[in-house]
Amino acid sequence: MTMNVKAMARILGGMAFLSLLSGCMSEVLERQAEQISQQNEEIARQRREIEGLAAGKQIQEQKRQDCNRAFLEFFDKAQLSTQRDEAISLYRKGLEICPDDDVAHYEFGRALADAGQRAEAEKEYEAALKINPGFGEARRQLEALKNSR
pLDDT at residue 103 in the model: 93
When pLDDT is averaged across residues 38-65 and rounded to a whole number, the result is 89
DSSP, collapsed to helix, strand or coil, labels residue 9 as: helix
Helices (H), 71-83: 76-80
Measured between alpha carbons, how far is residue 82 from residues 77, 79, 85 in Å? 10, 8, 9
When pLDDT is averaged across residues 94-121 and rounded to a whole number, the result is 94
> What dotted CATH number matches 2-147?
1.25.40.10
The pLDDT confidence band at residue 20, using thresholds 50, 70 and 90, is low
pTM across the whole model: 0.66
pLDDT at residue 37 in the model: 85
Give the span between the Cα atoms of 149 and 138, in whole angstroms. Answer: 17
